[in-house]
Amino acid sequence: VVQDFASRFAEARSHWGPLSVGLDPSGSLLEDWELGDTPDGLDRFADIVLEATVGAVGLVKPQSAFYERHGWRGLRTLQRLITGARQYGLLVIVDAKRGDIGNTNTAYAEAFLGHDAPFGADALTVHPYLGVDALEPFVALAYNSASCLFIVTRSTNPDGRLIQSARTSSGATVEERLLLEIGSLNSKFAPDRIGPVGAVVGPNITDSLLDLTAAHALFLAPGIGSQGATPADVARAFAACPDRVIPSASRSILSAGPDKQALRGAIQALADELTSKLAT
């Protein structure tokens, strides 16, 4: 029997802290690392980050876009990276922000969640624009495969406010309403514990804090470092549930590479700071 994602995260957190390392091999990073902005260079990137993260952190978060831009070869690398990381015990969150309706969502879920999925990860990010109810195939497969779905709720960029703070018919904002719907799903699937549906919540929007605890959810907090949020910002935004947040940092860590010891040092330093700031 596989433990649910929330339990696996709690275990990883107790060993390595809550940090997730974003594996975002942009073209300029591949050049900076002198690997070449090619499918072969991407393959070498995958080898390096696997070695640097295993035993240093509990979670990694590859961003699909940086693999897709190398075509099917890049996606072969992504598949290999996901499989390799999971074999070594890392939890893998694929940041792909998929989202559609009906059997298209079933197809996406089959691509990314569960034992038989080619890109089978521990968690996946999805878009809510077509409605949370439309995400049902993802939710069902996440639940059945003990994985997790992170619904993009509040983004780190100011341009996101327009839609995310719009008012739904009930008077709640879009992001408030999403958290309510996430709470309902989790109460249904996992009463009295953290459920399979999480939310992506940017930690840097400080003018309106969200009511997070009622969602019974894990939170993915992207953009630590390069996008401006500090560990202290994360602690403030998630003060109500510091043990439920997964802060993710990419560029601020990867810029220490390609030297593996330097990467492990950068990971360790940020993980320690987050562990201390998010102590419960």
Contact stretch for a copy of itself (CB under 8 A) within 48-56, 152-160, 261-269, 272-280: 152-160
Evaluate whether 189 touches 139 at the Cβ level (below 8 Å).
Answer: yes
**According to CB under 8 A, which one of 53, 155, 186, 204 is a site residue for a copy of itself?**
155
User: Any contact of residue 177 with a copy of itself (CB under 8 A)?
Assistant: yes
Distance CA 220, CA 245 (A): 6
Evaluate whether 134 touches 104 at the Cβ level (below 8 Å).
Answer: no
Contact stretch for a copy of itself (CB under 8 A) within 7-15, 70-78, 186-194, 258-266: 70-78
User: Any contact of residue 228 with a copy of itself (CB under 8 A)?
Assistant: no
Catalytic residue at 260? no
Task: Identify the active-site residue in 61, 97, 188, 277.
Answer: 97
Distance CA 226, CA 110 (A): 32
User: Any contact of residue 71 with a copy of itself (CB under 8 A)?
Assistant: yes
User: Any contact of residue 248 with a copy of itself (CB under 8 A)?
Assistant: no
Question: Which residues, 86 to 105, sit near a copy of itself by CB under 8 A?
Answer: 97-105
The CA angle 163-166-169, to the nearest 5 degrees, is 130
Evaluate whether 48 touches 257 at the Cβ level (below 8 Å).
Answer: yes
User: Any contact of residue 111 with a copy of itself (CB under 8 A)?
Assistant: yes
User: Any contact of residue 66 with a copy of itself (CB under 8 A)?
Assistant: yes
User: Any contact of residue 55 with a copy of itself (CB under 8 A)?
Assistant: no
**HSE value, Cβ hemisphere, 13 Å, CA-based, for 212:** 27
Distance CA 178, CA 241 (A): 18
User: Any contact of residue 43 with a copy of itself (CB under 8 A)?
Assistant: no
Number of residues that bind a copy of itself (CB under 8 A): 62
User: Any contact of residue 127 with a copy of itself (CB under 8 A)?
Assistant: yes
Q: Which among 64, 192, 68 has a CA at the least distance from the CA of 123?
A: 64
Considering the complex, what minimum distance in angstroms separates the CB of residue 77 from a copy of itself? 8
Residue 47 buriedness (CB in 10 A; 0-12 / 13-18 / 19+): middle
Residue number with CB closer to a copy of itself (97 or 260): 97
Contact stretch for a copy of itself (CB under 8 A) within 12-20, 84-92, 110-118, 209-217: 110-118
Evaluate whether 54 touches 84 at the Cβ level (below 8 Å).
Answer: no
Query: Which residue type occupies 21?
Result: V
Q: How far is CA 233 from CA 60, 141, 209, in A?
A: 21, 33, 12
**Which residues bind to a copy of itself, rule: CB under 8 A?**
24, 26-27, 63, 65-66, 68-76, 78-79, 97-105, 107-108, 110-112, 117-119, 127-134, 152, 155-169, 173-174, 177, 227
Positions annotated as catalytic residues are: 97
